[in-house]
Structure 1
Amino acid sequence: MSTIKLHAGVIEIIDKAQKQCLWRGIDEHKRNGNLVAWDLVQKAKNKGGLGVINLKIQNEGLLVKQLHKFYSRAEVPWVQLIWESYYDNCVPRASRPVGSFWWKDVLSFHSSYREEASCKIGNGSSVLFWQDSWLGGILQDKFPALADFASDIHASVKDIQEPNDLAAIYLLPLSAQAYIELQELESLLNESQFNIHEADEWSFPGAANQFSVSRYYKHKHDHIQDQYKRHVAPKTFVSLARQELC
C-alpha cells in the first residue's frame, strides 16, 4: 500500500472480506446481513464507529508520504535519482508524468499534497510562481491581470527570480491594470527572502511540521460527510458489533 495505488476493485474485494468477517464471524453460512452501513463502521470509535481503516484514504496517505520525501529532497537514493533524471530544470507538478507506473501513482496525489503542505522558499526550484500557494496565497488569483501577461504561467519561483529583463517574464506591453499589479507584486517580492544555495523546505501542520500518515488520515477522514442516517445509537451499535465478533 505504500508503493502502489490500489485499484478500486481491489479495495472493494478487501472490504467485502472484512464485512463478511465482521458480520458472519466463523459461520460462513450466516445470512443476517449487515447491521449498519460500512461508512459508519469506518468512523472513529469516538464518533460512533468501530474505527475500521478506510483503505482508500490509508493508501493515499502512504503514497503522499513518498511524495513528501520527494519534495523535501530526502537523502535517499530514489529521491535523488528521480530529481536528476526527470526534474533537473522543471517543477514536477507542471511537467508531463514520466517514469514508472509506481511513480505516476505517487504523482497523482499532487493536489492532495499541496492542499496541506506549505513551503519555506529556498531557491524556488520546486514551487510554481503563479499557481502554487506562497507569498500569502496563489499569485495568479491575487494578480489576475498581470498573470495574463506571463510568458510562462508554469514558471517556477526560481525562473522568475533569475532574469532581470521584464521581456523574459512578461508579454510586453502590459495593460494599465497589469502594470499596477506588477508594482504591488514587486513590493511583495522585495520583502521576501530567497536563498539560491538552499532547497525549498516543505512542511506539514502538526508536531515538528513533519508529515504523519495518521494525521493525514484523520484530516481526510474527518472531512468525509456521513450520508447515511444513524438507525442504531453508537453504544448499541458497538455492542452489537462486539457480539458479532465473539
Structure 2
Amino acid sequence: MADVIGPSSSSEVVENGEDNLWRGGGWWERVRDMCRAIRGSGLGFGVCAALALSNLDADSQGKYGVASLCGAMAGGLSRLGRCELGRVVADCGCGSHPSECTTLFNLKGLLRSFSDSSGLHVNFSKSFLVPVNVSEEKSSHLAQTFGCDVGSMPFTYLGLPLGTTKPSILDFSPLVTKIERRLSGISRFLSYQGRLILLPPTVINQIDRYQKHCLWSGGDINRKGSCLAAWDIACRTKEKGGLGIVNMKNQNVALLIKYMDKFYNHADIPWVSLTWSKLYSNNSTPPHARSPIGSFWWKDILKLMDKFLLMAKCNPCKGNSVLFWHDNWLQDTVKSSFPQLYSFTKKPKCSLWFFVDQSLDRLFHLPLSIQASNQLTDLQAVLQEGVWDPEEDDYWVYSWGSSTYNSRKAYKCLQGSYEASPLFSWLWSAGNLGKHKFFFWLLLRDRLNTRNILRWKNKFLEDYNCVICSNSVVETSFHLFFECPFSSDCWNYLSIHWNLSLQPLDMVIEARLAFGSPIFREICHSMLDHLDN
C-alpha cells in the first residue's frame, strides 16, 4: 500500500521505493493504485480522497471529473457495508481561498456521488474531522461544510486508539471494559465447553484475567479458588494436552514479528527503505546490536529481536544485518565455534560486512596466541567458502524450512513443544457432548474438585474420605471413578476392566485396546458423566 508522506503543499506518494509527485505525469495511475490499496478502510478512503482532490488543479478537476474519480474510489469502498466519512485527517490545505473551497465542495460531491451510485451512504452526523496542522478557523469551516464535528487525537478507529503518541493503558480501558462486560454477562449461562468456544482472541494481560474468570468462575470476578488448571496448560493445543485457548501474548508477538521479517528481508515497501536509509545507513553494526532509536513503535518492535532469532537464521549476502560473532549464520555462532579467537576481538558487535572488509589490526588485539591464530586460519577458510555479494541484501530462513514468514507457525514456535500422551488428541475427537469431553480432560489432568483437592486448597471439611464406600479411603478422582466398589461394578457391567497398577493415561490406553470396539471412547465419556451425576 502506498504511504502518504509530507505536507499539502507538495504531498508525495512513495511507491516501490521511488518518490513521485502527485502533480504531473502518472497522477491518475497513483490515485487508482491508492484506491485499490485502501479498500475496506474508511480512514484510508478519507485521506486518499482529500489528498487527491487537494493536489488536483482546476483544469485537471474538470478533465477527470468527480464521476470518474468516484469510479476509481469504488474499488476501495466495495467491501464497506456502510460507508462513513471515516475520520478524515484534514491536512489538505482547504480553507477560505476560492480554489480551496472548490476542492472542498468537490470532495463532498465525490462522497455524495459515490453514495448515490452505490447505495453506501455517508453518515456525516456520526463522523468527525481531525485537523492536523490546520488552524481552528479552517477546521471549523471544514466541519461546517461537511456537516460533522471537529475531533482531536487520540481517537478510536476500529475499536482501538489512534494518535501521534504511544497509547497508554487508560486509552485501552474502554476496549477491556467492553470485553469484560460481554464475557461476564454471557458466561453464567454456558457450560465449561460453551465458555471455551466463546473465548475471544483479544489483547493481553487484563483480558487474560477476564478470560480466566469466564472459563472457571462463570464471569464472577470476586469468586476465588475456582481455577481448575494452570492457564499455561489451558493455552496449549488439544493435541499437547491443553484446551486450545489462544495465548494472546504469544499471538500478539507472532503478528508483530511480521514487521521484523519485512525489515530484515528488505521488503520493497516504503517504511522499510526509509528506516534502513535514515536510521541504519552505517553497515558496520546491525540494527539489533545498537541502542534502540526511532519512534516508540519501532523501539517496541526491536524488543522482539530475541524471539525473532529463535526461529530465524540469516543467509548473508551483503552481511550488514547479521552480527558476525553472536548471530547464528553458520551451523553455530562464531563466538562458540572459535572462543579463543573471540577473546582477542576489538569489535564484538560488528557485522559480517564490517569483518570481511577490515584488516586484522582493526579487528583483533595483536599479537594472537597460537590457539587463536589456528582458529583464525580455520575461520578464514570458512569465509572464503562463502558467497558475499555487496549488491544483494541478506535474507532470513525460518525454522520451518521456508523464507516466507507464517504467523501461525511462528505462534507454534513461541508456544514451544511439549510431550503429551496421544490420549488427549483421542478424547477430543469423540462424538459426545462438549461438556463430557471437558470433564474427561479434567479427570485425566486430575483437576476435578474432589475432596483431596479441596483439602489442598485449604477448604475445611469434616471428613475427606470417600462418601460412597466404607473403606476410609481419601477421596481422589482416581479412587472415585475407578477404584471405588460402586464404580468398579459399573465398569464391570460394561465389560471394561482397568489395570489399576498403571498410570491413569496408560491404564486408559490398555483398556481401550482390550475392549476392541471403536465406541469405547463414547462409552467412557457417557459412563463418567453418569458416575459424576
* TM-score higher than 0.5: yes
1:209 to 389, 394, 403: 403
* CA gap 1:204/1:5 in 2 versus in 1, 3 angstroms: farther
Deviates more, 1:17-26 or 1:35-44: 17-26
CA RMSD of aligned residues (A): 3.3
**CA distance, structure 2, for counterparts of residue 97 and residue 172 of structure 1:** 32
Match of 1:54 in 2: 247
Residue 151 in structure 1 maps to residue 346 in structure 2:
yes
Superposition pairs of residues 115-154 of structure 1, within 5 angstroms: 115-154=310-349
1:188 to 379, 382, 402: 382
Count of residue correspondences: 232
**CA distance, structure 1, for counterparts of residue 216 and residue 401 of structure 2:** 38
Residue 166 in structure 1 maps to residue 366 in structure 2:
no
**CA distance, structure 1, for counterparts of residue 167 and residue 340 of structure 2:** 39
Deviates more, 1:213-222 or 1:9-18: 9-18
**What do the CA deviations read for 1:20-79 (whole angstroms, capped 9, x no partner)?**
333455889988933433233212122343211101111111122211111011112211
Superposition pairs of residues 3-42 of structure 1, within 5 angstroms: 11-23=204-216, 33-42=226-235
Which structure 2 residue ranges, 5 or more long, are not aligned? 1-159, 161-165, 170-175, 177-202, 421-426, 429-435, 442-533
* CA gap 1:88/1:99 in 2 versus in 1, 3 angstroms: same
Q: Which residue identity does 1:55 align to in structure 2?
A: M
Match of 2:438 in 1: 238
State the 1:157 CA deviation.
0.7
**What do the CA deviations read for 1:183-238 (whole angstroms, capped 9, x no partner)?**
11111111111111100111213364311111111122134799xxxxxxx66562
* CA gap 1:115/1:41 in 2 versus in 1, 3 angstroms: closer
State the 1:149 CA deviation.
1.6
Match of 1:178 in 2: 372
TM-score w.r.t. the length of structure 1 is: 0.81
Which structure 1 residue ranges, 5 or more long, are not aligned? 227-233, 242-246
**CA distance, structure 2, for counterparts of residue 28 and residue 184 of structure 1:** 63
Deviates more, 1:89-98 or 1:216-225: 216-225
State the 1:97 CA deviation.
0.7
* CA gap 1:148/1:205 in 2 versus in 1, 3 angstroms: same
TM-score w.r.t. the length of structure 2 is: 0.39
Preserved contact between residue 49 and residue 238 of structure 1 (Cα < 8 Å)? no
**CA distance, structure 1, for counterparts of residue 229 and residue 331 of structure 2:** 45
**CA distance, structure 1, for counterparts of residue 327 and residue 319 of structure 2:** 11
Preserved contact between residue 48 and residue 238 of structure 1 (Cα < 8 Å)? no
Preserved contact between residue 5 and residue 60 of structure 1 (Cα < 8 Å)? no
Give 3-state SS (helix, strand or coil) of 1:203's partner: strand
* CA gap 1:129/1:39 in 2 versus in 1, 3 angstroms: closer
Preserved contact between residue 6 and residue 59 of structure 1 (Cα < 8 Å)? no
* CA gap 1:143/1:222 in 2 versus in 1, 3 angstroms: closer
Give 3-state SS (helix, strand or coil) of 1:209's partner: coil
Preserved contact between residue 42 and residue 49 of structure 1 (Cα < 8 Å)? yes
Preserved contact between residue 213 and residue 220 of structure 2 (Cα < 8 Å)? no
Deviates more, 1:13-22 or 1:94-103: 13-22
Q: % of aligned pairs identical? A: 36
Residue 110 in structure 1 maps to residue 305 in structure 2:
yes
* CA gap 1:28/1:204 in 2 versus in 1, 3 angstroms: closer
Higher relative contact order (CA 8 A, sep 6+): 1
Preserved contact between residue 210 and residue 219 of structure 2 (Cα < 8 Å)? no
**CA distance, structure 1, for counterparts of residue 261 and residue 333 of structure 2:** 20
* CA gap 1:148/1:72 in 2 versus in 1, 3 angstroms: same
